[in-house]
Each structure stands twice: as structure tokens, then as C-alpha cells.
Structure 1
Amino acid sequence: MRSAMSLIELVFTIVIMGIVVMSLPLILTQVQRNDAFAMQQEAILAAKAKIGNILTYEWDHNSYDLTASRSFVLTTVSPDTELDCNGTTFRRLGHVNADSRRKCSATGASASAIGADEGDGGNFTDIDDFNGLPPTTLVVTAGEDAGTLDYIFDLNLTTSINYAEDNATYSSNGTLNDFTFNPNNAPATPTNIKVISVTVSGGDQNITLRAFTCNIGESMLLPSRPYQ
């Protein structure tokens, strides 16, 4: 007796194959979404790592005093005049009156302009030395160093550092009454806040992360690492 496929078996086979073929576009779409999400996470991680590295440097070229082996609060031209340093006590509003705590520079050192400083010799000594550098490129290609990844990426990291416009008013007893902060406005003169912006672009990715760091010097109880 010859074996053969019955009509009902043929129908079931066609239906099953049809379901499989119909599901392929959905599977491919989900794979693309997963790869896009993975690239987005790679971009965020790259920007976060870049910001973390920048934040290990001094707030300003003039912050660190080699003689005193510590970082001081610098003089700025911020509209926060209530936060100006006292030329006698070398402290400002909110400072604890103790030698080991944060204080202003006794030499009257001022915050410098954004960008590389004279005397750096091409070295990175503060966070704004990273401003305007050529973009950093991160590339992972299939068969090279992608390992088991099912996607490739080509990302560019662009870093910019700016002063942020800040303005605060205080009462006579030192209580903060009002604070206006505008990170999108970059004044030409130094303020007490710097904005680190890292933008990651590549393909359809365009992600910007920001971090804010302030002119607060350092406490000798929690010293930062000195730069070379």
C-alpha cells in the first residue's frame, strides 16, 4: 500500500507554515527594537562614564593650591553677591568657621574662563579642559570586537563645559529666599556652577546627559585627589 498525505494533513501543514511565515516580520521587528534599546543603553553608559571621568578633575585650574595641598572656593562674578568671600575670614555664607572645613582662597584666586588654561602644557588639570575637544568615537563592528553581540554601533561623544547662570537672594540671617537657575544660558563670566554636557550621536541615537558641579572647594576631612 502506498503511503500518501491526506488532504487534511496537507491543510494543517499549509496553515502551520502560514502562521510561521506571518510571525517572521514580528520577530524581526522585535529583534530590531531590542538592538535599538541595547544601543541606547550603550550610548547612555558611554556618556555616564565620560561624565564620571571628568568629575574626578578639579573644578577649576585655580582651585587647587599646591602649597596648602587643598582646593579652595574661588572668587567669581556670579550675581550671587551674598556668596562673595569675606576678605578677612576667608569664608562665605554657610561656611563653618574651622580650619579643616571649606574656605575661600586666601590669595583671592578667581575662577578662570572655560577652556585650556595657560601653563597647563596640554595637560588636563580641571573639568573645563575637556570643553570643545574633538569627538570621541566608539566603534564595535561585527567580527572585530563585538563578541557575541547581535548588533554593531558607531557612536560619537561630544563634550562641552559651560558656566550656568545662577542667581539667589538671601535674607539678613542667611536664609535662602529665592534661587533662579538656568543651565541653558551660558554667561561669559564665571559663576559658581559649571555644566558638563556629553552628547552621544550615532545612527538614530542622539542622547545628551548633563552633570552640574559647584564652586565649593573641599573639606580637609574629605580631601580629593591632587592633580599632576
Structure 2
Amino acid sequence: MSQIAIDNGLYLLEKCTEIHNTCNKLTNENAQLRNELEQTIISSKKLSKEVKQLLTDVKNVSNLEWQIAFDKQHTQSLTTELERLKSQYLGIQSIGIASVEIVRRANLITSKKETLVLSSKSFELQVLKTKCGVFKQHLADTVEQSLMKKYQLLPEKQNNEMLGGGITELTHKLLLLIRSIYYKGKYNYFSDAVWGNNPIKKCDSFSVQETSPRTYTPPLDKN
């Protein structure tokens, strides 16, 4: 009976030892599994972060693709606008060159016309001055001859008075002539109101030639 109890005790001891070993083994395995679980959790967290980063990168890539597409479209629009502006600039440039050339030619033609007009006016003025000079000389000669005739027929006192009056009248008529030339520019004849009942012939009837002024010297009294 005691032997059976001993055997049972030994058996129980053996079983307890076996159970203890199994528990230790399970404990070790549990610790190992716990370590692996912790590593798995750490790896999961790391993977989660990486996944989040990947999602962020994907979103950024999508935004970049959209931005690239928009920039491409905007670039095409700018290229089209640039071509249009270039064509418009070339058109304006050609029109501007043509306009400048037209204005230059018009100014050249106007300058030539003005030069011709000025030359013609200058020539006409010179001819008018020459004719007036000839007319003045002819007038002086006529008055001189008239005074000489009257001087020979009248007494010396009356002759001197008439000579002075004739010179005064001649000076007045010359002043009227100069005023008429200044205000009218051209004239062909003088009215009877200025020169009396015998109007002077047109200036064109006199030949244009150089004449020297003459002075009247009364004859010496023989007495």
C-alpha cells in the first residue's frame, strides 16, 4: 500500500515536473510571441507611417500632374497669343514703314512745291523791283524834262517856286507809289487820282535795264 502511494507520488511528481517544464516552455514561447508581437506592432506603426507618406506622395503627384497639365495648357495659350501678337506686330511694322515712307514722300513733294513757289515769288519780286526802279527813273526823267522846259519859259523866281513845288509833288507821288507796292505787292498802273489827268502807262511797257540816277542842274544866269 505504501509502495503504491510512493509510486503515485513519484508519478505525480513526474507529471508536475513535466507540467512545470511545459509551463516554462509555454512561458518562454509566450515571451517570444510577445516580443514578436511587439516587433509586429512596431513594424505595423512603421508601415502605417510609410503608407501615410505614400498616400501623401500620391496626392502630391496627383497635384503635380494637374499643375503640369494646367501649365501645359497655359503655355499653349501663351504660345498662341505670342504668335498672334507677333503677326500683329509685323502687320503694324509694315504699315508703319509704309506710312513713314508716304509721309516722307508727301513732305518731299510739299517742300519741292514750296521751294518752287518761293523761287517764283522771289523772281517776281525781283522783276517788280527792277520794273519799279525803271519806272522811277523814267518818272524822274519825265519830271526833269518838264521842269527844264518850264524853267526856260518862266522867270527865275517863278521857276524856283515851281521847281520846289514840283519836287515836293514828286516826293508825295513817290511815297504813294511805295505804299501801293508795299500793300498790294503788284500793280500795273496808277490811277488818275494820283497822277492827274494823264495816267502813267503800265510798268510792263518799260524795258528792264540798269539806269543811273540823274540830277537836275539849272542853267547859269548869263546876266
In proportion to residue count, which structure has more helix? 2
Question: What TM-score do the two structures reach when normalised by structure 1?
Answer: 0.29
